[in-house]
């Protein structure tokens, strides 16, 4: 793996390709202004036709090309960086994809679970728990090799997902440690190399060259540059996993213990400076790998997905009276609503009250408190230390931040930047990177006190017993 950053002049306007599980974005970050100056977003739709559910890469590419063209015309682009969700990769050949990019929520790989369990690396090697569906990227490859052997044999390279988009832009194939280290079974974090599974399965031939997230893979291909109106060579960074993009600005200048929460479809807790021996594979704890190749103890749950399920519509910020009522009546949701993941992977979620009887504001209050309690559980399991910084959509949820501060007894702050993943991905290029933080806005709720303490105690009891009873 290349460990030194390729020398390059510091670009000012960095276009970040940000492919999340829920949405795809193109964000232009102005390095001089340290802010996002241009944004376009579209839903990331999974296609259900064909061999299995898969990413609509043609639609994503069309969106990105149109957005790059408009951003070039509106503000100009000096460089491109890339970040995507994890648990995803692509098998490519000389003519492009040999198999569709599998949606990691598809449960097809579970059919080979017993066989896969016999060959996957031990947790002490990969620090990856066994997860359902395609959340272990190694399980995806194992299933694809068994079910589609002819197509699999045509693949000349396997690339991790940020690097798939880098390949589409530059023609250069690569793999990279932050995506390989995201519970794939393909990486040995402490040894900083491919895991024993790769050699055992003969996949060494497939793995594209290992590169650093910071490496400049090349420039935008001439045909793409002409399509989007770039008048000169524009460098493209190798790219990285989205949660690690959120983490990057906080570890560039300092390594003292702190907790970073990357929020979106998933809420991922990074215990910077924590110990790997705290990790419990049975509770969705793992080692992520940061942009410098270092393992970082982590825990996670599908917080954004569960929040949307619990609110069942657009969230409505609760006023003080609504919040007080929710606490007094014990309106709560118990884990979990994304089976097989999070600190309670086998739990079946439920409500203390009929959710159809609740107002949108009551559901939002309960969902926010649920997310904070689940996050605090993850932090307790990690023994995470230091101030807590929230990146992503939950940074705008004041009740979530206030509840988390009360539960942990630690300050909760947020980035001063609107898009944590995009800002972090832009930091792959050389420019002043110290991230600005500020306390989270508590919103319009009442200060949380003893009523919330009692509520939290009841929630923990409900989580451990599997019952959420009405107050």
Cα distances (Å, whole numbers) of residue 181 to 266, 296, 297: 16, 10, 11
Burial of 396: CB neighbours in 10 Å, binned 0-12, 13-18, 19+: middle
Cβ neighbors of 321 (< 8 A, separation 6 or more) are none
As beta bridge partners, residue 42 has 24
As beta bridge partners, residue 35 has 30
DSSP 159-183: EEHHHHHHHHHHS---B-HHHHTTT
Q: What angle do CA 85, 32, 15 make, to 5 degrees?
A: 35
As beta bridge partners, residue 401 has none
Residue 423 to residue 392: CA distance in whole angstroms: 11
In which residue ranges of the chain is pLDDT below 50?
2-8, 432
Sign of CA dihedral 102, 300, 36, 83: negative
Residue 392 to residue 405: CA distance in whole angstroms: 17
Instruction: Count the Cβ atoms, other than its own, within 10 Å of residue 432.
Output: 9
Nearest to 295 by CA among 378, 372, 207, 193: 193
Cβ neighbors of 96 (< 8 A, separation 6 or more) are none
Instruction: Count the Cβ atoms, other than its own, within 10 Å of residue 314.
Output: 8
Q: What angle do CA 32, 16, 293 make, to 5 degrees?
A: 95
Nearest to 75 by CA among 14, 32, 18, 34: 14
Contact 270, 379 (CB under 8 A): no
Lookup: tokens for 278: 């705290």
Pinpoint the alpha helices (H) of 229-302: 242-251
Contact 41, 217 (CB under 8 A): no
User: Taking the model in full, what pTM does it have?
Assistant: 0.86
**pLDDT reported for residue 418:** 61
Cα distances (Å, whole numbers) of residue 121 to 61, 136, 209: 35, 11, 22
- State which H helix or E strand residue 420 sits in: helix 420-426
DSSP 8-state assignment for residue 83: E
**pLDDT reported for residue 7:** 45
Contact 126, 195 (CB under 8 A): yes
Q: What domains are there in the chain, each with its CATH number?
A: 13-238 (3.30.420.40), 253-465 (3.30.420.40)
Quick check: helix, strand or coil at residue 382?
Answer: helix
Q: Tokens 């970073």 label which residue?
A: 260
Residue 303 to residue 437: CA distance in whole angstroms: 22
Burial of 316: CB neighbours in 10 Å, binned 0-12, 13-18, 19+: middle
Side-chain-facing half-sphere of 279: CA atoms under 13 Å: 27
Quick check: helix, strand or coil at residue 186?
Answer: coil
As beta bridge partners, residue 439 has 413
Nearest to 264 by CA among 414, 425, 392: 392
**pLDDT reported for residue 81:** 98
Side-chain-facing half-sphere of 272: CA atoms under 13 Å: 25
Residue 296 to residue 351: CA distance in whole angstroms: 34
As beta bridge partners, residue 326 has none
- State which H helix or E strand residue 454 sits in: helix 450-465
């Amino acid at each position: 793996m290349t460990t030194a950053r390729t020398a390059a002049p510091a670009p000012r306007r960095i276009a970040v390709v940000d492919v999340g599980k829920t949405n795809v974005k193109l964000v232009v970050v102005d390095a001089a202004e340290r802010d996002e100056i241009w944004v376009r977003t579209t839903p990331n739709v999974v296609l259900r036709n064909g061999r299995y559910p898969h990413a609509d890469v043609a639609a994503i590419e069309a969106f990105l090309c149109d957005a790059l063209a408009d951003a070039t015309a509106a503000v100009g682009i000096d460089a491109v960086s890339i970040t995507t969700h994890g648990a995803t990769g692509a098998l490519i050949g000389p003519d492009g994809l040999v198999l569709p990019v599998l949606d990691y929520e598809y449960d097809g790989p579970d059919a080979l679970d017993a066989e896969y369990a016999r060959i996957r690396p031990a947790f002490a090697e990969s620090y990856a728990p066994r997860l359902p569906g395609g959340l272990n990227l190694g399980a995806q490859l194992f299933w694809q090799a068994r079910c589609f052997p002819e197509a699999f044999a045509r693949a000349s390279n396997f690339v991790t997902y940020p690097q798939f988009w880098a390949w589409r832009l530059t023609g250069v194939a690569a793999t990279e440690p932050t995506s390989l280290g995201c519970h794939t079974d393909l990486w040995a974090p402490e040894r900083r190399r491919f895991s024993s599974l790769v050699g055992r399965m003969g996949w060494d031939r497939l793995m594209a060259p290992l590169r650093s997230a910071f490496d400049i893979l090349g420039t935008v291909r001439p045909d793409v540059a002409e399509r989007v109106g770039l008048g000169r060579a524009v460098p493209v960074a190798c790219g990285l996993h989205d949660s690690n993009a959120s983490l990057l600005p906080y570890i560039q200048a300092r390594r003292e213990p702190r907790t970073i929460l990357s929020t979106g479809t998933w809420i991922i807790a990074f215990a910077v400076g924590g110990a790997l021996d705290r990790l419990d594979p049975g509770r969705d704890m793992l080692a992520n790998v940061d942009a410098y190749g270092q393992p970082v103890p982590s825990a996670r749950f599908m917080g954004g997905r569960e929040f949307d399920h619990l609110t069942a519509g657009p969230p409505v910020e609760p006023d003080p009276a609504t919040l007080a009522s929710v606490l007094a009546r014990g309106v709560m949701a118990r884990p979990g609503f994304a089976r097989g993941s999070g600190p309670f992977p086998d739990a079946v979620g439920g409500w203390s009250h009929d959710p159809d009887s609740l107002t949108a504001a009551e559901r939002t209050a309960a969902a926010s408190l649920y997310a904070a309690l689940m996050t605090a559980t993850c932090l307790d399991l990690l023994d995470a230390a230091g101030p807590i910084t929230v990146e992503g959509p939950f940074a705008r949820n004041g009740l979530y931040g206030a509840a988390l501060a009360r539960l942990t007894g630690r300050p909760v702050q947020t980035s001063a930047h609107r898009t944590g993943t995009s800002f972090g991905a832009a930091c792959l290029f050389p420019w002043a990177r110290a991230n600005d933080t500020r306390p989270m806005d508590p919103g319009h709720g009442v200060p949380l006190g003893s009523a919330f303490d009692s509520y939290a105690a009841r929630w923990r009891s409900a989580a451990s017993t599997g019952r959420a009873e009405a107050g």
